Amino acid sequence: MSTNLGISEIYSKLHWEVKFRMAKRSFTGGHGESSPNARRPRRIADSRSDTLSSSPVRDTSPHELDINTSNERLPFAKRVKTDTAVLDDQELEMLLAKDQQGLENGRMTYIKKRTSRSIVDASHPQLVEQDIDAADMVRTRRFHEEEDSLTAKITELENDPPADPVSLEPARKLRKTSRASVQRSHYANIQSVRLRYVREHKIPTVLFANELVQKVQKHLHLVEQILSGKRASLYYDNARQAFSSSEKAVMSMAEFRQLDLNKFTAGFYGVKRQMRVALEILARYRPLLEKKNNAVLKWWGVKDFAQYVLAPELLSALCQEEMSLPLLEDAWDVMEHTTEFGHIVADNDPLEEWEVAAEEAAIADLGIGKEYSSMFYRRDSNKADPVKDENT
């Protein structure tokens, strides 16, 4: 019994040994293992290395993909431990094909998940599929179309300027006409105010600066009398009232803006000629004004006191002289009632003689008559009264 069992066991082993060798010889193409042309099955590790060798992802070394490697460590096809001793040629080929297909599927899945270009060998370039949104492509195309359109418009404007510059002439003429109309109205207003005040108040001729300085010299001594209180002064009284209403030692800018400057203006002489007289006062009496311990003077300051108090007071004396008024109070009345003439007429008439040429040129450009010129109303002994000439 034991002999029969031993023979059966030996026979079984021989049977499987022969079957294995036949399968092996069939797989290698009939050559022995030592033959240099012996065919061997392609290892899965080699196939994966050849296929993904250019990937920036680290390849798994061949020994990591050994047939005994667990399924959890293999990212591609599912591995099954294979015993080649129990396989025939057909089953072995099916398993190898299944492994190769799993490897290819895993590779394609890996490539599709990438969104950037792979770093490949220069001798084997590869194109990797990109995930691009269709909406992004539409927006990009529209952006480039708008950019091209804008560039074309700029180029067209640079190469083809407006062909008809004459079309701008009406607007230019309108602006020029409007400006000329304003200037004509300006001179017409000056003439109207001049004639009215000359007729009502017998205003003397507006003086040039050199004439004014020459005539005011005889009245400069009044400065000392005003400072000492020996001479009554309307403008000093107004200055003292402004000082009394203030709680500060020096007049602030806000307080100056609140003043009624008509009370400190030299009537028909105007502000420009008033300032010219103030310069003459300061040139002679500045040291005296700075030494004076007068609260009103210190609150106003030397320059403002000379311009808004002393200068109009001296011009009041000149007004009394020019208009032959019996009392200084009469001159003050004229000064108070002719400030409009000073602002509109005197301050627009030439202060210096060389300014007359510019005034007459402007009047000639406007095409208005000579009666709009300030020189037309300058009286002398050989010319008739311009007011009478205007009335006739």
* pLDDT, tens only, 12-52: 666 667 667 766 665 555 444 444 444 444 444 444 444 44
Three-state secondary structure call for residue 364: helix
CA distances for 29 relative to 35, 42, 212, 274, 315, angstroms: 11, 14, 135, 130, 137
Both tokens assigned to 241: 């009232």
pTM over 0.85: no
Q: What is the model's pLDDT at position 141?
A: 74
Q: What is the model's pLDDT at position 27?
A: 55
| 68, pLDDT greater than 50 | no
Q: What is the model's pLDDT at position 342?
A: 95
Overall average pLDDT of the 79-100 stretch = 62
| 271, pLDDT greater than 90 | yes
As a whole number of angstroms, the distance between CA 302 and CA 276 comes to 15
Confidence of residue 71 (pLDDT cuts 50, 70, 90): very low
Percent of the chain with pLDDT over 90: 41
As a whole number of angstroms, the distance between CA 372 and CA 189 comes to 10
Q: Give the residue carrying structure tokens 């050994």.
A: 66
Overall average pLDDT of the 296-306 stretch = 94
Confidence of residue 179 (pLDDT cuts 50, 70, 90): confident
Confidence of residue 180 (pLDDT cuts 50, 70, 90): confident
CB 96 within 8 A of CB 80: no
Mean residue pLDDT across the chain? 74
Q: Report helix, strand and coil shares of the chain as percent, to nearest 5.
A: 70, 0, 30
Q: Which residue has the higher pLDDT, 155 or 301?
A: 301
Q: What is the model's pLDDT at position 390?
A: 47
| 224, pLDDT greater than 60 | yes
Confidence of residue 273 (pLDDT cuts 50, 70, 90): very high
Q: What is the model's pLDDT at position 70?
A: 45
What is the maximum alpha-carbon separation in the chain? 177
As a whole number of angstroms, the distance between CA 385 and CA 392 comes to 11
Residue 376, C-beta contacts closer than 8 angstroms, at least 6 positions apart: 370, 386
CA distances for 354 relative to 47, 208, 280, angstroms: 107, 10, 21
Q: What is the model's pLDDT at position 302?
A: 94
Q: Which residue has the higher pLDDT, 292 or 143?
A: 292
Q: What is the model's pLDDT at position 330?
A: 95
pLDDT tens across 103-129, in order? 566 555 545 444 444 444 445 555 555
Residue 239, C-beta contacts closer than 8 angstroms, at least 6 positions apart: 264, 296, 300, 305, 308, 309
CA distances for 57 relative to 46, 49, 52, 345, angstroms: 16, 12, 9, 95
Q: What is the model's pLDDT at position 318?
A: 96
As a whole number of angstroms, the distance between CA 30 and CA 166 comes to 103
Residue 280, C-beta contacts closer than 8 angstroms, at least 6 positions apart: 213, 216, 217, 220
Best CA proximity match to 312, nearest among 276, 347, 341: 276
Overall average pLDDT of the 306-319 stretch = 96
